[in-house]
């Protein structure tokens, strides 16, 4: 009886903290208002102490219903937070100096073991940090410096490309400011002496100069990198550095957004089809494009739908098509919201609106 009472009190406390954070966010008049008919999340996470920014979904290989969400708390005393599918914080990393974005990769070989990775940028130290999952332990000997030799560093965006042919892994890193043509750097991950290092293999990326580049997403199966050139559009490149091809393949969404182009998530209906979901930050919506392009041109990404959500000025998002249980039978979409939380949505709700827009 006591344990049940204690659990109920904890649930009430979580709900009150979450509501307080949401009310605090909504009370700021400068924040964008929710759109009429905005989707309501199935789950709102416990708030972090400072400022959430970007989530990533880790699929539990033994039981998908026990999958987790990793999210950044962006502060000088921040860190990575691990949430269960109830939105409860179950673990925190060591303290990090302003972690910004985070991404996940699976089965990287370190010594004689295969390790799932969470990689985040640590802005105030000009490093990327690498943690094993699901224990969230550092395996990078204190971090790997990025943009060495540059005056413009301050890393923000990060995404991992796992090459299907050989399972080699490459980390794409963006920064607060940088030159056009080499704004993003790509690093090959290597394991040595039980830890992980990274070697620069590529510098690329057009930049409009309007604001910054933060959101980056990689489509492993199709072999593309997408990144948000804020207040300009979404840019597309090949992901494999061995192609030695830095041609910009597409530049889309230029006239579809109110202001900032932000978080990018890729929903995979099949190995080659699905959707690109991109945060229209100042409108509290997500813009949906065909992952595979058009029937006649793979690099022509036209707008399919605009999805109003309850996230407030979303920076980062992630999505999966994996059945995570009764609440998320065809996958889950998770997005950061102002108010130190992340919102988890049943994919079926989003798919219904996309289908409706296509009629």
SS3 label, residue 223 = coil
CA 251 to chain centre: 20
Peptide bond into 134 cis (omega under 30): yes
Q: What is the per-residue pLDDT for 112?
A: 87
Q: What is the pLDDT of residues 245-259, one digit of tens each?
A: 999 999 999 999 999
Cα(143)–Cα(128) distance, rounded to whole angstroms?
6
How many of the other CB atoms lie within 10 Å of CB of 94? 11
- Give the C-alpha distances (Å, rounded to integers) separating 343 from 96, 123, 242, 319: 23, 24, 37, 12
Looking only at the bridges linking them, the beta strands covering 127-133 and 113-122 are antiparallel
Cα(170)–Cα(163) distance, rounded to whole angstroms?
8
Q: What is the per-residue pLDDT for 194?
A: 74
351-295-248 Cα angle (round to 5) = 95
The residues of the chain scoring below 70 in pLDDT are 1-29
SS3 label, residue 322 = coil
Cα(52)–Cα(22) distance, rounded to whole angstroms?
13
Cα(69)–Cα(196) distance, rounded to whole angstroms?
23
Cα(136)–Cα(95) distance, rounded to whole angstroms?
12
- Give the C-alpha distances (Å, rounded to integers) separating 213 from 102, 129, 133, 154, 199: 15, 19, 27, 11, 22
223, two tokens:
């072999």
Rounding to the nearest 10 degrees, give the CA dihedral for residues 267, 216, 252, 276: 10
DSSP string, 81-138: EEE-TTS-EEEE-S-BSSEEEEEEEEEEEETTEEEEEEEEEEGGGTEEEEEEETTTEE
Long-range contacts formed by 61-64: CB under 8 A, 24+ apart: 61/106, 64/322, 64/323, 64/324, 64/325
| CATH number of the structural domain 32-358 | 2.120.10.30
Q: What is the per-residue pLDDT for 29?
A: 57
Spell out the domain ranges in the chain: 32-358
Cα(49)–Cα(330) distance, rounded to whole angstroms?
31
259, two tokens:
């202001």
- Give the C-alpha distances (Å, rounded to integers) separating 47 from 103, 130, 338: 20, 23, 10
Contacts of 4 (CB under 8 A, 6+ apart): none
Q: What is the pLDDT of residues 70-85, one digit of tens each?
A: 999 999 999 999 999 9
Cα(119)–Cα(136) distance, rounded to whole angstroms?
10
Q: Across-strand partners of 277?
A: 265, 288
Cross-sheet strand order for the sheet of 261-268: 261-268, 274-280, 285-290, 303-308
Q: What is the per-residue pLDDT for 355?
A: 97
**What is the pTM assigned to this prediction?**
0.92
């Amino acid at each position: 009886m006591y344990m049940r009472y204690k659990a109920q009190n904890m649930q009430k406390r979580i709900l009150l903290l979450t509501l307080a954070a949401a009310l605090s966010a909504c009370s700021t008049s400068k924040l964008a208002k929710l759109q009429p008919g905005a989707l309501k999340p199935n789950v709102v996470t416990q708030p972090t102490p400072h400022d959430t920014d970007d989530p990533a979904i880790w699929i539990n290989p033994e039981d998908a219903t026990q999958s987790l969400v990793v999210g950044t708390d962006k502060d000088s005393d921040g860190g990575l937070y691990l949430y269960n599918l109830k939105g409860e914080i179950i673990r925190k990393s060591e303290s990090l100096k302003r972690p910004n974005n985070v991404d996940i990769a699976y089965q990287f070989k370190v010594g004689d073991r295969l390790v799932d990775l969470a990689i985040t940028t640590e802005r105030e130290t000009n490093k990327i940090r690498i943690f094993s999952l699901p224990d969230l332990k550092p395996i990078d000997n204190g971090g790997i410096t990025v943009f060495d030799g540059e005056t413009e560093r301050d890393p923000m965006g990060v995404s991992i490309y796992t090459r299907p042919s050989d399972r080699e892994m490459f980390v794409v890193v963006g920064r607060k400011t940088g030159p056009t043509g080499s704004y993003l750097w790509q690093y090959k991950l290597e394991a040595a002496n039980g830890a992980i290092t990274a070697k620069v293999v590529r510098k690329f990326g057009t930049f409009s100069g309007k604001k910054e580049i933060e959101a980056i997403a990689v489509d492993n199966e199709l072999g593309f990198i997408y990144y948000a050139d804020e207040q300009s559009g979404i840019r597309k490149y090949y992901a494999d550095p061995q192609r030695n091809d830095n041609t910009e393949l597409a530049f889309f969404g230029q006239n579809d957004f109110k202001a900032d182009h932000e978080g990018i998530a890729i929903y995979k209906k099949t190995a080659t089809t699905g959707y690109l979901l991109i945060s229209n930050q100042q409108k509290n919506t997500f813009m949906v494009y065909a992952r595979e392009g058009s029937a006649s041109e793979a690099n022509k990404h036209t707008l399919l739908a605009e999805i109003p959500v309850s996230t407030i000025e979303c920076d980062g998002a992630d999505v999966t098509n994996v059945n995570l249980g009764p609440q998320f039978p065809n996958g889950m979409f998770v997005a950061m919201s102002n108010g130190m939380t992340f919102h988890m949505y049943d994919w079926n709700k989003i798919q219904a609106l996309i289908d409706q827009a296509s009629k």
